[in-house]
């Protein structure tokens, strides 16, 4: 299988935060979603991939033979100064990216309804993001790297942008790495998911397989008490019922045929894994008290 | 590199109109007063200095440096472009000084042009690595200190050469012609230092 990019045991140590031994790859023709809470290390991983940060150890393989020339990068904030006009952005970007096509840029400006004579400061956040995407697509990249590109956008603009990504991925040579904490967006478009939690890969795999492997349990306190703790990733206990994320759907159904599981969402995977952490912490604290 | 150079040009040209208007006002004033080309040239030098520093602030505000470093040409081309722009501005300053002192019928136009062009290069040779190291915002504070020291040295030099009265009307000694060469040498060292800073920098 050919990969558009590969992170191999990537580690970046800042002292106060460490991106720790992260490995994943994106097969051609697919979209990989990098999820995780704020500060989990998503942007750090992307910056290491793009050479903006120097990894402490580990390696990055990027589009054999093309390197950064084949990458279209969309950061979380529009990188073009407010004083610049949209048309000027296209003019200087032509000198930055090999393979730049003025006609393609003009096509995206028209498609995204971006007026060429307007200054960047006069654009809304959604329009600025569209401008960044237009620039990223106008040099015909093979890999799109999007760092929180849909954050802060209204659902209509987000949907429009997600459609653009799906159109891009129709070419089997293309691939997308998209990081976001808006998991509903990623659930719509991703083939693979990597969940970063406190700098480490906690869950990774094909999205559909993950959502089939895990299960979401809603039950009473008494029912939850009899479930093998080894099957529980994290749980939420309330006065009127409990919810838990189960790590092995099939094993759980064999052991507890009277309890039914629902399909989890990516958000469930994130929330319950984080809660699982606090659960372990609570257990450790209780043990220390005893 | 042309992309980085064009971006810097577009950003500087945005404020150019404002400066040209100011200059036009000064020229009109000069018609009614005793013409002194140095005043205008000094104004152009100050504009050039603040414009180069301003580029780093624009970089900071739009987080451009990280984005530019992720472009295929990369961070080194970004540094190259800014140094080339600095060199071009210095040539522009020298040509401007020569032109207006010729128009004003002043003597000693060549050493004076060398003083302004070379002086600007020396200033940029100090400023650029400071900006690359500290970023545009922090560098302003550091540069205030550096400019104060440089100002004191220039003041002392001017006093020694008895230039304080009628600056711009006197013929500067010919060694001033070597100032651009000193500026270019300083800029070359500065360029190497900036490449080193940017090569190591985490953006």
Q: What is the ipTM of this complex?
A: 0.86
Secondary structure class of A250 (helix, strand, coil)? helix
- How far apart CA A283 and CA B142 sit, in angstroms, is 52
Q: Two tokens at B147? A: 């400019």
- Please count the helices (runs of H) and the strands (runs of E) in chain B: 6, 0
Question: What average pLDDT does this structure show over A101-123?
Answer: 95
Say if residues A271 and A35 touch (Cβ distance below 8 Å): no
Q: Flag if A47 and B14 touch (Cβ within 8 Å).
A: no
Chain A hits for B70, Cβ within 8 Å: 50-52, 68, 71, 73
The answer to whether the CB of B190 falls within 8 A of the CB of B126 is yes
Letter string b/e over residues A195-219, b meaning 16 or more CB atoms within 10 A of that residue's CB: bbbbbebbbbeebeebbebbbbbeb
Q: What CA–CA distance (Å, rounded) separates B81 from B6?
A: 9
Q: In terms of residues, how long is chain A?
A: 290
Chain A contact present for B84, CB below 8 A: no
The whole-angstrom separation of Cα B171 and Cα B163 is 9
Q: Which pLDDT score, from 0 to 100, does residue B19 have?
A: 79
- Region of residue A56 (left: phi > 0; alpha: psi -120 to 50; beta: else): alpha
- The answer to whether B192 contacts chain A (CB < 8 Å) is no
Q: Which residue of A has its CA nearest to B15?
A: A83
* B6 closest CB neighbour out of A71, A81, A91: A91
Residue with tokens 């967006």: A185
Lowest mean pLDDT: which of A148-162, A225-239, A267-281? Answer: A267-281
Q: B40 CA to chain A: closest CA distance, Å?
A: 27
- Where b means 16+ CB within 10 Å and e means fewer, B32-56 reads eeebbbbebbbebbebbbebbbbbb
User: Which of B2, B67, B200 minimises the CB distance to A75?
Assistant: B67
Partner residue opposite B71 with nearest CB, options A53, A88, A96? A96
Whether residues A83 and B58 touch (CB distance < 8 A) is answered with yes
Task: Give the separation between CA B186 and CA B124, rounded to whole angstroms.
Answer: 9
- Report the pLDDT averaged over residues A54-58: 94
Q: What is the end-to-end Cα distance of chain A in Å, rounded?
A: 53
Distance from CA of B115 to the nearest CA of A (A): 33
Number of Cβ within a 10 Å radius of residue A156: 9
In angstroms, the CA A103 to CA B112 distance is: 48
- Of B74, B79, B202, the closest CA to residue A48 belongs to B202
Return the residue in A77, A83, A99, A135 with the most chain B beta carbons within 10 A, the one to mutate for interface testing: A83
Q: How far apart are CA A54 and CA A66, in angstroms?
A: 20
The CA distance from B151 to B147, in Å, is 6
Q: What is the pLDDT of residues A256-287, one digit of tens each?
A: 999 999 999 999 998 888 766 545 444 444 55
- Asked if B11 lies within 8 A of A50 by C-beta distance, the reply is no
Q: What is the DSSP letter of A85?
A: B
Domains of chain A: 3-210 (3.40.50.300), 214-289 (no CATH)
pLDDT (tens, 9 = 90+) of chain B, 203 residues, equals 899 999 999 999 878 878 788 777 777 776 676 666 667 777 788 888 888 889 999 999 999 999 999 999 889 999 999 999 999 999 988 888 788 777 766 666 677 788 888 888 998 999 999 999 998 888 877 777 777 777 777 667 666 655 545 555 556 667 777 888 999 999 999 999 999 999 999 88
């Amino acid at each position: 299988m050919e990969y558009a990019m590969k992170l191999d045991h990537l580690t970046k140590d800042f002292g106060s935060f460490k991106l720790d031994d992260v490995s994943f790859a994106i097969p051609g023709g697919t979209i990989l979603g990098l999820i995780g809470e704020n500060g989990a290390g998503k942007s750090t991983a992307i910056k290491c991939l793009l050479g903006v940060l120097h990894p402490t150890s580990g390696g990055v393989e990027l589009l054999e033979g093309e390197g950064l020339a084949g990458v279209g990068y969309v950061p979380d904030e529009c990188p073009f100064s407010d004083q610049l006009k949209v048309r000027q952005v296209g003019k200087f970007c032509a000198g930055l990216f090999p393979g730049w096509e003025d006609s393609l840029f003009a096509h995206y400006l028209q498609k995204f309804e971006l007026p060429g004579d307007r200054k960047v400061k006069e654009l809304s956040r959604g329009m600025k993001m569209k401008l960044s995407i237009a620039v990223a697509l106008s040099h015909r990249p093979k890999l799109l790297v999007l760092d929180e590109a849909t954050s802060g956008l209204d659902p209509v603009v987000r949907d429009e942008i997600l459609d653009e990504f799906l159109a891009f991925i129709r070419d089997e040579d293309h691939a997308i790495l998209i990081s976001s904490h808006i998991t509903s967006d990623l659930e719509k478009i991703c083939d693979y998911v990597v969940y970063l939690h406190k700098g480490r890969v906690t869950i990774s795999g094909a999205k559909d397989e993950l959502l089939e492997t895990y299960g979401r349990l809603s039950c009473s306190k008494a029912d939850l008490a009899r479930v093998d703790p080894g099957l529980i990733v994290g749980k939420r206990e309330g006065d009127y019922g409990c919810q838990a994320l189960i790590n092995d759907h099939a094993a759980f159904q064999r052991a507890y045929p009277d309890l039914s599981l629902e399909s989890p969402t990516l958000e469930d995977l994130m929330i319950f894994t984080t809660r699982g952490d606090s659960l372990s912490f609570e257990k450790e604290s209780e043990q220390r008290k005893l | 590199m042309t992309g980085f150079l064009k971006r810097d040009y577009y950003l500087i040209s945005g404020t150019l109109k404002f400066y040209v208007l100011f200059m036009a006002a000064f020229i009109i004033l000069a018609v009614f007063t005793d013409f002194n080309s140095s005043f205008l040239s000094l104004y152009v030098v100050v504009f050039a200095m603040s414009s180069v520093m301003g580029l780093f602030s624009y970089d900071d505000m739009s987080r451009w440096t990280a984005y530019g470093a992720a472009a295929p040409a990369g961070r080194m081309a970004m540094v190259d472009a800014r140094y080339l722009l600095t060199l071009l501005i210095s040539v522009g300053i020298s040509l401007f000084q020569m032109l207006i002192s010729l128009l004003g019928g002043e003597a000693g136009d060549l050493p004076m042009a060398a003083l302004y062009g070379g002086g600007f290069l020396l200033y940029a040779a100090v400023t650029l690595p400071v900006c690359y190291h500290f970023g545009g915002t922090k560098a302003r504070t550091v540069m205030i200190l550096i400019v104060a020291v440089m100002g004191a040295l220039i003041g002392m030099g001017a006093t020694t050469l008895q230039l304080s009265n009628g600056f711009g009307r006197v013929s500067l000694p010919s060694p001033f012609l070597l100032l651009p060469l000193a500026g270019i040498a300083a800029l070359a060292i500065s360029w190497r230092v900036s490449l080193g800073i940017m090569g190591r920098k985490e953006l």
